[in-house]
Chain A
């Protein structure tokens, strides 16, 4: 390589190409994406994605700060690219629009734990079991998810009576008599965020699978 200037220009071109291709162009392609306004089968209009509640937004910060993304992804691959849908982690693949309101986006790269893109949907109408954050093994036997006791306060039951949101813990996880385990604000925020994780809404780019009568039986 005799010509330093030529080398420099070559390197610069390669850098710029990669930058334009994978930073600038995707920005151009994705920035027009907006909230989808649609009508469901019953004729009611809906919009998606909806902004998360303030509590859930705070919870997303707790989620990011604790590094939950190290073990939990939040993405459902299409049925021809993995068995995420067959496992029940979502009814359709996730698409760019699902993450429109999220920052930081926590797609994740490792699945030591289950995918959480539709965790809220799996909970259904049940409240989030806060005990799962206090000690996952109190709810799921054998789980290797780490306990987060620092999101809870273990204290003596106050004279005004036990806290309304005190955890109901059984067996070895139960606090000693006269004590209770009460979730902190951060625990409630994280729970609210996890509860808000739902993506099963019909989108033109990601239709929900048609449930035939045979399949529903």
Chain B
């Protein structure tokens, strides 16, 4: 017991020392979240008022949508995920982040890459492939920056002080190695030396599924596995399930790539495989959900924003997994394929499951790194309530709207009428995302206040030093 306490104290010391680059990744990630959400909201405006800003090519719906997707995935999810992963690895392994300066430089380059890439998409240099739209030059920078961060993370993992690898560390291992693999494969095969024909669509589908189910999901689940027992004060009673969940997830999640190609111009086995693995995804979903939620107590849920968000993230994960499995069946695909339902499902996955998990991590990590408590519980409450309600509204509206759109398309209604009837649902989605964006301002304000509180004592000697000569000269003159 006592050794455990020492280890955790040591861990906390290390997490403070590795704080700078982590804080930078979190802060820039949250800023890209705002950018991504603003761009998404602009696409929402375009869907209601197609002529809005149409004189400008950079405000084209397609470009805005691509830029928004990349800002949310590579700007927000990747950066906050990487920052929290490094923090978690340092903390779980009882090691300080090596090469803190190097991590900071890599994080800065990541942001430089995005600052070139996102405007590049808006300027028409996009590649036209989902989540791979970033132009070539920014891709190279992004990849190099990632390699540096991943090597630093891998070192933390291999030099850990605990011999037994925890579930969270296992997921982080997957995340660290999976991204460079899929990113390099997809970039080489689709952008640098493009393969021929529909193979592009197959690889692009494989990439976007692997990016979400393999990479982002791993980082988000790692956080949940690390934080939930600590926040709720109860260890999961089903730790074996977590292991089974991990392996079955690894086994089935890599094969769902063809789900967006059911009925498409690809070999039939790709779609069949996607349907089968999509349904089988139900197994890890259930196992992981059980092992995550088994320690949950309803009464304690409101005790901290981090616990509430982590629980909400777990529920969103369950929802995402179950909906993915149910909509894998061909009969469902026939109606829902190409509808907004899957846009909603992506929002549930990216903003709900991954987003809430990351927010929860931020609520735990930032106060510990700064050694300062968040000062405004009301802002935390606003942020949590707004985020959950916003995502709920956004996802619910597109789920219903998507079904109606699918039935109408299947019923032979003409495209213009279908989309006109879809508009109110798209409007509700817009409101949900607006609420979500607004609530992030509360989070940012709260974090900013914490940073100011952290800086004030540091600033005091400086202020005193600056003021001192003035006051002495003042006394002299009088």
**A residues touching B (Cβ–Cβ < 8 Å)?**
1-2, 4, 7-8, 10-12, 14-15, 17-19, 21-23, 26-27, 29-31, 33, 63-71, 73, 75, 77-78, 81-83, 86-87, 93-114, 135-136, 140-150
Beyond A10-B250, A30-B198, is A109–B342 a contact (Cβ under 8 Å)? yes
Inter-chain contact B262/A23, CB cutoff 8 Å: no
Inter-chain contact B197/A146, CB cutoff 8 Å: no
Chain B interface size, as a band, is 35 or more
Closest to B174 in A: A11
Q: Which of B374-401 contact A (CB under 8 A)?
A: none
Beyond A11-B173, A29-B267, A109-B342, is A81–B334 a contact (Cβ under 8 Å)? yes
In the assembled complex, which residues on chain B have CB atoms less than 8 Å from the CB atom of A136? 50
Interface of B is mostly: helix
Within 8 Å by CB of A110, from B181, B251, B338, lies B338
Within 8 Å by CB of A23, from B203, B247, B340, lies B203
A57 smallest CB distance to B (angstroms) = 14
Inter-chain contact B194/A114, CB cutoff 8 Å: no
B377 smallest CB distance to A (angstroms) = 37
B205 smallest CB distance to A (angstroms) = 8
In the assembled complex, which residues on chain A have CB atoms less than 8 Å from the CB atom of B64? 67
Bound complex: CA A146 to CA B55 (Å)? 10
Inter-chain contact A96/B198, CB cutoff 8 Å: yes
A106 smallest CB distance to B (angstroms) = 6
Inter-chain contact B126/A67, CB cutoff 8 Å: yes
Tell me the total A-B contact number using a CB cutoff of 8 A. Answer: 218
Give the 9 A-B residue pairs with the shortest CB-CB distance, closest first.
A67-B62, A18-B254, A64-B128, A77-B263, A81-B263, A111-B338, A65-B124, A70-B62, A94-B265
Q: Flag whether B163 is at the interface (Cβ < 8 A).
A: yes
In the assembled complex, which residues on chain B have CB atoms less than 8 Å from the CB atom of A18? 206, 210, 254-255
In the assembled complex, which residues on chain A have CB atoms less than 8 Å from the CB atom of B129? 104
30 pairs, A vs B, C-beta closer than 8 Å: A11-B177, A14-B250, A14-B254, A22-B257, A22-B270, A27-B195, A27-B199, A31-B196, A64-B128, A67-B65, A67-B66, A67-B126, A77-B263, A77-B337, A78-B263, A82-B337, A96-B198, A96-B265, A96-B267, A104-B128, A104-B200, A105-B201, A107-B265, A111-B339, A113-B419, A144-B420, A144-B423, A147-B54, A149-B55, A150-B56
Bound complex: CA A68 to CA B66 (Å)? 11
Beyond A21-B255, A105-B198, is A145–B264 a contact (Cβ under 8 Å)? no
Bound complex: CA A29 to CA B343 (Å)? 31
Closest to B65 in A: A70
Within 8 Å by CB of A100, from B60, B126, B196, lies B196
Bound complex: CA A94 to CA B56 (Å)? 34
Q: Which of A1, A7, A18, A31 has the most CB of B within 10 A?
A: A18
Beyond A81-B334, A113-B419, A144-B419, is A96–B62 a contact (Cβ under 8 Å)? no
Inter-chain contact B197/A107, CB cutoff 8 Å: no
Bound complex: CA A131 to CA B340 (Å)? 28
Inter-chain contact B410/A107, CB cutoff 8 Å: no
Q: Flag whether B46 is at the interface (Cβ < 8 A).
A: yes
Instruction: Tell which of B110-118, B137-145, B164-172, B360-368 binds the partner.
Output: B164-172
Closest to B410 in A: A83
In the assembled complex, which residues on chain B have CB atoms less than 8 Å from the CB atom of A106? 128
Closest to A68 in B: B62
